[in-house]
Amino acid sequence: MKKNILTLIVCFLPLFTYAGVKEQKKTCFFDNNELQVGETISIKDPILESRATLAYRKQGYTQEQIDEILRTEDWTTYVLVCTNTFVSSSNHTTDSSNVAAMLEYGDPVLVPLHHQVDWIDKLKKQSL
């Protein structure tokens, strides 16, 4: 009898524990695009493309050459990655034996790739 009760507790304990855990969201959205955590999206900036086109025209490039340059340049395109965020857990205790018990998942967000963070921040500050 004790073995049966112990088996029931072991089998159903994860279900009761899971019920108290906030479900982790796994997607970000940009316009109508849904991205899973870890996926990236490339976003062309029409203003930067227009400025680049004018600059290349002044240097004597043909429109065909300009189009080819813009296809390979990354400074007119933002690359954002859907990534998890973390927030302080509202129900952790300092004596918890669970790793990262003080953290829980927040909503995923889009962030620039590491090498674009300062550049995008500078562009945003210039446009204010």
Q: What is the count of structural domains for the chain?
A: 1
- Domain contains 10: no
- Domain contains 54: yes
Q: What is the pLDDT of residues 12-40, one digit of tens each?
A: 434 333 444 456 779 999 999 999 999 99
- Domain contains 4: no
Structural domain including 122 reads: 25-126
- Domain contains 45: yes
- Domain contains 7: no
- Domain contains 15: no
Q: What is the pLDDT of residues 33-82, one digit of tens each?
A: 999 999 999 999 999 999 999 999 999 999 999 999 999 888 899 999 99
- Domain contains 95: yes
63: left (phi over 0), alpha (psi -120 to 50) or beta: alpha
- Whether the full predicted model's pTM is greater than 0.75, yes or no, is no
- Domain contains 122: yes
| pLDDT for 2 beyond 70 | no
Q: How far apart are CA 114 and CA 103, in angstroms?
A: 23
Any idea which residue has 């446009």 for tokens?
127
